[in-house]
Amino acid sequence: MQAACDVAFDYVHSRKQFGRPVGEFQLMQGKIADMYTKLNACRSYVYTAARAADDSGVSSKDCASVVLFVAECTTQVALQAIQCLGCSAVEQLDASTLAISGGNGYVNDYPTGRLLRDAKLFEIGAGTSEIRRLVVGRALNAEYKD
């Protein structure tokens, strides 16, 4: 996620359109603000879960929850990085299908295409997001059993 932010932030502040960096346009400011916010929220959540594991032991609910959240945010940030680099259309069709067309974000000249592929692998590696949701849901249900 940090790498996607680094690439996108550098690009939007160096690429110029209409005589000014594209990072000055409102749409791009919104995208990079969202990316920055997700990055820091994920980082904070990971540190909080790790600290809790150190203090009171590992919780499968918390571990699955943090991996679920961070994995999905990483994919979102990678997609936003691709959009920042000039992708003409990024549309999520369903949970597993992505239509991406054109632009610098997906060509091999920039690492964003690889970062997106890596992010999607993070979502499915060691258990899919759906499995992680089941782990969290079952743990929550177990806490409320009589």
- Look at the alpha carbons of 11, 68, 93, 27 in this order and tell me if their dihedral is positive or negative: negative
pLDDT at 84: 86
Residues (pLDDT < 50) of the chain are 87-102
- Position 126 scores a pLDDT of 73
Q: Token digits for 134? A: 């089941």
Q: Give the pLDDT score at 50.
A: 95
Q: Which residue has the tokens 């849901």?
A: 137
Give pLDDT, residue 98: 40
Tens digits of residue pLDDT in 82-118: 888 874 334 443 333 343 333 555 556 678 888 988 8
Q: Which residues pair with 89 in a beta bridge?
A: 101
pLDDT at 136: 96
Q: Tokens 């999520």: give the residue.
A: 92
In this prediction, residue 97 carries a pLDDT of: 37
Q: Which helix (H) or strand (E) holds 28?
A: helix 26-56
Q: Give the per-residue pLDDT at 64.
A: 94
Strand (E) or helix (H) holding 64? helix 60-84
> How many angstroms separate the CA atoms of 34 and 30, rounded?
6
Q: Tell me the C-alpha distance between 92 and 72, whole Å.
A: 13
Task: Give the per-residue pLDDT at 146.
Answer: 60
Q: What is the pTM of this model?
A: 0.82
Domains of the chain: 2-143 (1.20.140.10)
